[in-house]
Every structure is written in C-alpha cells, then in structure tokens.
Amino acid sequence: MNTKTDPALSSPPARLSTAVILAAGRGTRMKSERPKVMHPLAGRPMLRYLLDNAAQVFDRIVVVIGPGMDDVAALAAPHAVVVQHDRLGTGHAARQAESVFGYGDVAVLYGDNPLITPGTMRALLAQRRCDDTGLALLAMEPADPAKYGRVVTHDGQVVRIVEWADATPAERAIGLCNAGVLCADAADFRRWLDGISNDNAQGEYYLGDVVARAVADGRHVRAVVAPEDELRGINSRAELAQAEACVQARLRQAAMAGGTTLVAPDTVFLCADTVLEPDTVVHPHVVFGPGVHVRRGTEIHAFSHVEGAVVGPDAQIGPYARLRPGTDVGAQARVGNFVELKATTLGAGAKASHLTYLGNATVGARANIGAGTITCNYDGVFKHATEIGADSFIGSDSVLVAPVRVGARALTAAGSVITHDVPDGAMALGRARQANRAGHADTFRDRLKKKKEQG
C-alpha cells in the first residue's frame, strides 16, 4: 500500500496579500450617470490610480462593483471582479469578496479614495505584520477635521472609532480622523465581517464596525497616519476638483524633478501619461491632454493646448497653438500662434508660424507654411490627405484642397486655391484674374447711400 502523500497537498496554502477595492458607488452626489470611480483625474479614471498603486504592493486585487458596471469591470481587468447586487453598505460590499480573500493579509480600500500611494499601502501592510497587530487602519490629521469620524486611542492602540454625530465634545476635539481603510488576516476579517450588524438608522452594514469587533476580540488595533491629500475621499464634484488639484501638484513636481522648467507651475495642467523630457520648457497656461510626449529641448509657449501628439526635439510651439491627436512635430520645427495641427506630420525644421490649419497632412523638412493657409481635408464623408514636399513654400492664404500633393521645392502663390498636384520645383497660381473698374467704387458707394436714405 502506497502511503506517500503529495507534498503539494500536504503543504499549507500560500499566504498572499490581497487588496479588495470597493467600487460599487453610483456617484449619486455627483449628479452623474457615470459610476463614481470612472470620473477622471488628470485624464485617467480615478480607479486606475488605485489599481496601479495597489498592484505594486499586493499579490492579488479584487474589485467589488455594482450591477451593470461593465465599464468598471473592463477597467479592472485582468483583476478579479465580484458584484454587490444589493447596496447595503461598505461592510456588505466587503462581504461579497470573502470567498476570494484567500489566505494571508487582506486590505479593504475604496475606489473613490484613489490617491493612496504605494508607500502608504506598504506601511499599512507592515503595521499589520508587526507587534502582534490584529487590525491596522489608515488615519489622518486633516487641517479641518470637520465631521470625519474620530480615532480614539489609548497607549498607542485604537480603542474605538466614533462618528462625529455620536462624539462627545472631548472626542470631537481629537485631531486623528478615520480614513476607513482596514487591513487584517483573512480569517479574522471574515469572522469580524460576519459579526457586524445592520442595526442602525440606515439599515446598512458598515465596514468601520470591524474595528469594534477586533477590539472585542482582544486584538491590538493600530493606526497608520498618512497625509490628508492621500486619504481624501471623492463624493462630489467639489471634492473631485480638490483631488484634481492634488494630482496636478504631484505631476508638476515630478515634471520639474525630471528636468522640465515650468515657468508658472500652477497654471500648467498635465495628464497622468504626459511625458516631458529633460530640458523642456513650458510657459504659463499650457494644457496637456492624454497621449503627449514632448522631447528634449522643446519649448511650449503660453496658452497652447497639446493632446495626442509627439513634439520635438528642440521644437518651438505657440503661443496659442493647438496640437490635436495624431500630430508629430519634427526636430526644430516651429508651430506658431493660432496654428492648429490634426493628424499631421510636420517635418524637421518646417515652419507654420501663424493663422494656419493643417489636417491629415504630411509636411516635408524645412517647408514654410504661409499665414492663413488651410488644408481642406474633409468632404463631409471622408478625410483626405495633403502632401507638402521638403523645402516647399506655401504662400499666405493658400487653400489646399485634398487629396493633393505639392512637390519638393515647389511654391504656391499667395491667395491660391490648389486643387491639382504641383510638380517638384514648380510654381502654382490658383487665383481668379483681377479686373480694375475705374470709378466703380465711388458710384457703388453713392448708390448704397441713396438706398439707405430711402429707408
């Protein structure tokens, strides 16, 4: 008889740290049909921040969503998702993930509390794993404690969480406030969650009641204090704006630390994925949309808007320039004031200095685009391409009706409408013939004045 046991079956299950993110909120106070966690901060859904940061700390991530939140489930992928069909409070939401807690430590986070850094998450996990801590929680000391729940401590241990409405004057004077984030061993967490009650005015199960269960079990509960800016929750449009300010401050600081000069940092707005290489300079009142990469030595002048574009190196943009998605500006190229580029490649050293629209265009190296030039790229159904060759010169107020090609070293006369290809090195004139009628301006003006006098 074979009595050997498979080592894999006899060994204990792996202890993996798990982050449970509660993301079932509907955003009612935001007056929005969009799930709360899908509202953007610096061009990225707020839930994305928490997912990315938690992935740096925890072995597994589970996201609790509400019914019909397919967009949230898609954003959470490839992490596990469970559905809270009945919204009966934060404790009830955490219960929905009990079956996937696994073995090890479990932290419950909030999708609308997205700015917690990996460092703070690591501190929470480390606190849970030392000094016989049964439960660790995040707390903060805000400048204005307002109506946050207070964390009551004794000899370094948390003895209870008291809501502002239930707090005594002495308790309201406590500056340490509850952020709601908890971390405990999976088995303990399951037991404490199963023990909480919905015997309250709202008839809901509150995650914060786990603290009382842990204390009643005689377990040590300890708080990890983190900055207020990391722990601010987002429940309204005003709080979303406050969180945006925090994210922008972080992004600006990171850009400057990376070698970018922001002349007036508070006036520059970045996206979470904006890439600014060293020795770039950004002047006041510049806005970056998603998908921007600015290469070394490029200067973005005031009041410009850049989105979905690659720029430089050593390019000059603006002031008052707009680069739209699909734009690629080459080395040492120049995009001046009131110039708009969309799905356009501007070659190295090329210039479009003022009052120009280039859409679905390819502009060769060193070409010069005169003031007032536009590419007519859309016929109402399809977009068409314009090709402008290297070293060409497009005269002011030219209209290039796509599809059309202007060859290398070619020239278009000012005021021309170009509807046919221009060969390399050729000059194109597409103007109506001018005719001067002597004295006609005076007689025309007199006729208009007489009509005005007659009413």
Write out the binding residues. 22-25, 36, 84, 89-90, 110-112, 149, 163, 178, 235, 324, 342, 357, 368, 371, 377-378, 396, 414, 431
Tell me the chain's radius of gyration from C-alpha atoms: 31
Tokens 């890439």 sit on residue: 275
Q: Which long-range contacts (CB under 8 A, 24 or more apart) does 289-292 make?
A: 289/43, 290/43, 290/44, 291/325
**Per-position DSSP letters for 408-426, written without gaps between them:** TT-EE-TT-EE-S-B-TT-
| Active-site residue, selected from the candidate residues 354, 384, 420, 440 | 354
Distances (CA, A) of 180 to 102, 206, 312, 372, 427: 22, 10, 46, 58, 72
Q: Say how far apart CA 156 and CA 93 lie, in whole Å.
A: 30
| Distances, alpha carbon 249 to alpha carbons 114, 120, 182, 255, in Å | 15, 18, 27, 10
Binding-site annotation: residue ranges for Mg(2+): 112, 235
Known binding residues for UDP-N-acetyl-alpha-D-glucosamine are 22-25, 36, 84, 89-90, 110-112, 149, 163, 178, 235, 324, 342, 357, 368
Distance set, CA 226 to CA 139, 163, 241 (Å):
6, 20, 21
Q: Which residues pair with 158 in a beta bridge?
A: 153
DSSP character at residue 66: -
Q: In the annotation, is 354 catalytic?
A: yes
Cα–Cα distance measured from residue 106 to residue 126, given in angstroms and rounded to the nearest whole number: 12
Measured from the Cβ of residue 423, the count of other Cβ atoms closer than 10 Å reads 14
For residue 180, give every residue at least 6 positions away whose Cβ sits within 8 Å of its Cβ, in sequence order, or none.
90, 110, 113, 137, 138, 207, 208, 233
Is there a contact between 372 and 357 (Cβ–Cβ < 8 Å)? no
SS3 69: coil
Tell me the one-letter amino acid at 52: D
Residue ranges of the annotated binding site for acetyl-CoA are: 371, 377-378, 396, 414, 431
Residue spans of alpha helices (H) in 88-173 = 90-95, 118-128, 169-172
Enumerate residues 6+ apart whose C-beta is below 8 A from 149.
161, 162, 163, 164, 177, 178, 208
Question: Would you name the residues annotated as active-site residues?
Answer: 354
